[in-house]
Chain A
Amino acid sequence: MTLSDQLLSFIRTNLLRDEGAQLTPDDSLLDRGLIDSIGLIQIMAFLDTQAGVQIPDHAVTPDNFETVRAIVALVEQVRSGG
């Protein structure tokens, strides 16, 4: 499973509140209210344990967490030391 799929699955299980709700890699997590302070902590913990990536404080921005696609790009950037 790709990181994108893992992340979608994690968000569906832990952050989506309504059964049967849909989520794609390009849906805005922010506009849908899925990322509040607790949701953000959960996603960061997931990235730490599942992808072994710790996001530095300065990279924790709305743009970097807008969509699943953006988070995956952020992880790749942090991994490549960018």
Chain B
Amino acid sequence: MRYLLWQLAAESTERTPDAVAVSDLGEVLAYGALDRAAASLAGWLAMHGTGRGERVGLLAPKAARNVAAMHGVLRAGAAYVPVDPAAPAVRAGLILGNAGVRTLITTSRLATALWDVNPAALQTVRAVLLVDDPPAPPELPGTPEVCTWREMLTLAPVEAVKQAVETDPAYILYTSGSTGTPKGVVISHRNALTFVEWGIATVGVGPSDRLSGHAPFHFDLSTFDLYAALGAGASVHLVPDRVAPFAVELARWIHTQRITVWYSVPSALIRLLRQGQLERFDYTALRTVLFAGEVFPVKYLRDVMERFPSAAFYNWYGPTETNVCTSYRVPRPLPSGNTDLPIGRACANIEAFALTHDGRVARPGEEGELLVRGPCVMLGYWALPERTAESLDQHPLHRDYADPVYRTGDMVRVRDDEGGFTFLGRRDHMVKTRGYRVELGEIEHVLHECPAVRAAAVVALPDPVIGARIVGAYVPEPDVTTSPSDVLAFCGTRLPRYAVPEHLTQLDELPATSTGKVDRPTLGRLLTTAVNLQESQS
């Protein structure tokens, strides 16, 4: 019986120890090697008292050995916290501090940047594992133990912790928080297994499959790539950071790696379509294309499906808090004039239903907020009991026993066909850009932290390709000389790049409603004009 996430890889290791499990540009790990590294890493964690009830920070690039590291953390009974290695060090420190990690897996460069910026946030860190094997590890003030990957591999392997239970945290994914601080979504072993086992069965992943690893580890899409591959005895091929931004290189990489299952946000596929020169390469091996995270405009989807003629396409939907919870298999050919792609129906062992504004379960044709129930639903937000209670509501129809449902905040229309639901939009100020969740409140919070800024507001302008373009305006403090590029540079030290506004306008005052609130519709029109003007000049 599988009830812990590491059992997926452990079972495949027993069956096929010599088969490739994970590869990147420089390193290929077979199942046996992955398992041995993980067992030694669990030993290193145990040496530092890290086991059940602990979190381990993983601030490291998308590399094969870091997949072994995740596996090792799980074997030790702890949970890992993957942090974007491209995020500003201030933000990474904030997340690691919030999660209270006492052991950290990272590289020399990232560790140095982290300790340079905010050593106070890292006071709890007792041991650091450097996966880049530096000849001379950097000095990290206040940190007792630094170990390299090479040294770690010499440690005696330890048995996996078996007295864990399926509702123990497996990993914590941090997403944008409206109050200005990222919030950690705590995912249990059961949460992840519910999705991964359904995904393996639905896609029919088998030992001969070669999965892409396009999403970064801190993004929930990577859960499928890594664990569906490991669970099926297949291999996952991590898209190198050197390749991913370059459309033609990426198009060639998918071909030369003979990828059979691709999973990404739609905007990555649209970029391949527009700039990847896909007609130059052979994609007959590619049998499945999965996409999630944002709406895929049908006009582009149609063209992508033509370029990948052997592939079955699935539209997956689900916030980080539930993982993928609905799925829609895209018909081939796509019916003409089909403009709203359904998000599909609930996956196995999951209930998804829409609640109307007056508290009824929505019928076909009606709109409502999508609620999700079942073992896919997160344990909660790390150390945020009130925020958790708001999101995990008592099931409105099951009042006689505890039955939490997750309120997605997503508005949907119930369809009267096989498509299940149609996504309509958000109830709040959360937007999606390139598949990433961004709370406009978090960006405004950072803008207000900038010493030169007196007032600021941001809006999301709809964009057919990337979902939303984030643009903003600010009012400077009196007698302060500043410029939009200064303010943007400040944002860049606090926010992930996708959340930094692509345009800022300086104003004498923000447009206001009669009640004194920021008039967002007017600001949106004003900024649309400003952005168009700027683009027509260039």
Binding site for B on A (CB under 8 A): 13-21, 30, 32-33, 35-40, 45, 48-49, 57-58, 60-62, 65
Contacts and interface: CB of A to CB of B under 8 A. Distances in A.
Contact of A35 (B245, B268, B538): B245
B488 interface: yes
A61 B250 CA distance: 10
A61 B86 contact: no
A33 B246 contact: no
A18 B113 contact: yes
State the main secondary structure of chain A at its contact with B: loop
Closest 10 CB pairs of A and B: A17-B88, A49-B538, A40-B245, A37-B245, A33-B86, A13-B489, A62-B242, A18-B89, A57-B275, A30-B242
Interface in B71-114: 85-90, 109, 113
B493 A37 contact: no
A16 B497 CA distance: 10
Contacts of A65: 246
A36 B249 contact: no
B135 to A, nearest CB: 17
Given A15-B492, A36-B245, A36-B497, 4 more contacts: A33-B85, A38-B434, A57-B248, A65-B246
Contacts of B245: 35-37, 39-40
A45 B87 contact: no
B493 A19 contact: yes
A62 B243 contact: yes
A33 B61 contact: yes
Contact of A39 (B87, B89, B434, B497): B497
A18 to B, nearest CB: 5
B524 to A, nearest CB: 22
A18 B116 CA distance: 9
B498 interface: yes
A58 to B, nearest CB: 6
Contact of B248 (A38, A45, A58): A58
Contacts of B249: 61-62
Contacts of B492: 13-17
A14 B248 CA distance: 25
Contacts of A49: 538
B241 interface: yes
B518 interface: no
A57 B241 contact: no
B529 interface: no
B131 to A, nearest CB: 15
B116 A38 contact: no
A18 B117 contact: yes
19 contacts: A15-B492, A18-B88, A18-B89, A18-B116, A18-B117, A21-B113, A33-B85, A33-B241, A37-B245, A37-B268, A38-B434, A38-B497, A57-B247, A57-B248, A57-B275, A58-B277, A60-B246, A61-B248, A62-B243
A65 B241 CA distance: 13
Contact of B538 (A16, A36, A45): A45
Contacts of B488: 13-14
Interface string B492-516: 1100011000000000000000000
B271 interface: yes
A39 B88 CA distance: 14
A64 B248 CA distance: 13
Nearest to A62: B242
B244 interface: yes
B248 A60 contact: yes
B241 A37 contact: no
A40 B248 CA distance: 13
Nearest to A31: B242
Contacts of B154: none
